[in-house]
């Protein structure tokens, strides 16, 4: 089976589907820096069709599955929440146009959790109505990445669409169950090239420690004693996490952690691992992608392991065998 990667970013969705041997025939991404990283990971074999809002669908190759992490700024609680009034929010209509023109069989879409309650639920209702009118039965659910293979708290809403003529009423699509046991954070905080921060002299860190919200709450000596303690500096707040990280975001570069008595900055390399990217791809970014860019790109990416889990369920549905084991799915890529 073939798929096309829309709003591709650096290819987290692609990686999740390629796990089962599915073939990516092309992608669509408008950010130049993200495209460069995408090519670094996957090469130049597939064409980037650029802005999906101006694509002529007739020029696209044929594919069975659409995957898209369509822009979330319009619906995120950290944005202005303009929703469908925002030009970026209109991307969903561009995706629907392509669905109709290419008559694709299935899709997987991802967005921020804030979409669910945006405009008192009216926005998601409009999106679901558009997808229904385009000819798809849609299931959606909020999943948290920390229960799907990575120790990162990351709630996102996922939509799975099945073209109505392909719906099997005896074989309902269900989202994958999460796991209660988180992976070991130590396996992800492994970079040896992180920037070390001196908590006693760093002006920004001292500002957090001594503002009116945090003054007297934290002891540096005690913090440095606890390996893999995660510190998140956000707005005026300082939060501590154990065994997992808060949500990675494009604009959040203030995550720190303790290792060997030192306070280290989370690196872009580690952010990729926390999004489910394999080390062999993360290694390719060494000396090739600016650190700030890489942190942003990882924060914007889809979590590979979540897409892998959803893709597994979709392929089981396609085969009508929801009890199928993972080892049987590789053959489905043909």
Catalytic residues: 72
Q: Is 231 in a helix, a strand, or coil?
A: strand
Do 290 and 130 meet the contact criterion of CB atoms below 8 Å apart? no
**CA 164/CA 161 separation, integer angstroms:** 9
Q: Which residues contact 11 (CB under 8 A, 6 or more apart)?
A: 5, 27, 38, 41, 42, 301
**CA 244/CA 56 separation, integer angstroms:** 43
Single out the residue of 12, 110, 108, 7 nearest to residue 65, CA to CA: 108
Say how many residues make up the chain: 334
Q: Which two tokens stand for residue 171?
A: 């074989």
Q: Which residues contact 88 (CB under 8 A, 6 or more apart)?
A: 71, 73, 74
Q: How far apart are the first and last CA of the chain?
A: 6
Single out the residue of 113, 148, 180, 70 nearest to residue 306, CA to CA: 148
Do 196 and 264 meet the contact criterion of CB atoms below 8 Å apart? yes
**CA 107/CA 109 separation, integer angstroms:** 6
Pairing of strands 255-259, 155-163: unpaired
**CA 209/CA 203 separation, integer angstroms:** 10
Q: Which two tokens stand for residue 148?
A: 């799907």
**CA 28/CA 26 separation, integer angstroms:** 7
* CA angle, residues 21, 26, 28, in degrees to nearest 5: 125
Q: How far is CA 65 from the centre of its chain?
A: 18
């Amino acid at each position: 089976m073939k798929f096309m990667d829309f709003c591709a970013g650096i290819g987290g969705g692609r990686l999740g589907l390629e796990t089962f041997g599915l073939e990516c025939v092309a992608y669509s991404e408008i950010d130049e820096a993200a495209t460069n990283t995408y090519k670094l990971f996957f090469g130049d074999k597939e064409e980037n069709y650029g802005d999906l809002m101006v694509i002529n669908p007739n020029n696209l190759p044929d594919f069975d599955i659409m995957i898209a992490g369509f822009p979330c700024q319009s619906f995120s609680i950290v944005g202005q929440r303009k929703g469908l009034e925002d030009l970026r929010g209109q991307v969903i209509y561009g995706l629907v146009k392509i669905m109709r023109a290419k008559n694709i069989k299935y899709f997987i879409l991802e967005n921020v959790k804030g979409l669910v309650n945006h405009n008192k639920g009216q926005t998601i209702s409009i999106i679901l109505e558009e997808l229904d009118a385009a000819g798809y039965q849609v299931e959606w659910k909020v999943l948290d990445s920390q229960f799907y293979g990575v120790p990162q708290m990351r709630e996102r809403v996922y939509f799975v669409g099945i073209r109505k003529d392909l719906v099997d009423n005896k074989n309902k699509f269900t989202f994958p169950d999460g796991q209660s046991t988180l992976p070991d954070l130590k396996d992800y905080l492994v970079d040896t090239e992180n920037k070390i921060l001196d908590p006693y002299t760093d002006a920004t860190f001292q500002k957090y420690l001594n503002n009116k919200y945090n003054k007297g709450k934290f002891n540096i000596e005690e913090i440095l004693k606890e390996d893999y303690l995660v510190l998140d500096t956000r707005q005026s707040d300082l939060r501590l996490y154990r065994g997992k990280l808060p949500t990675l975001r494009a604009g959040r570069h203030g995550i720190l952690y303790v290792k060997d008595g030192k306070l280290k900055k989370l690196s872009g390399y580690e952010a990729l691992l926390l999004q489910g990217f394999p080390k062999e791809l993360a290694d390719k970014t060494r000396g090739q992608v600016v650190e700030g860019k890489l942190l942003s790109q990882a924060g914007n990416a889809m979590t590979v392991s979540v897409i892998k889990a959803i893709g597994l369920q979709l392929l089981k549905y396609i085969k009508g065998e929801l009890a199928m084991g993972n080892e049987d799915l590789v053959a489905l890529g043909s």
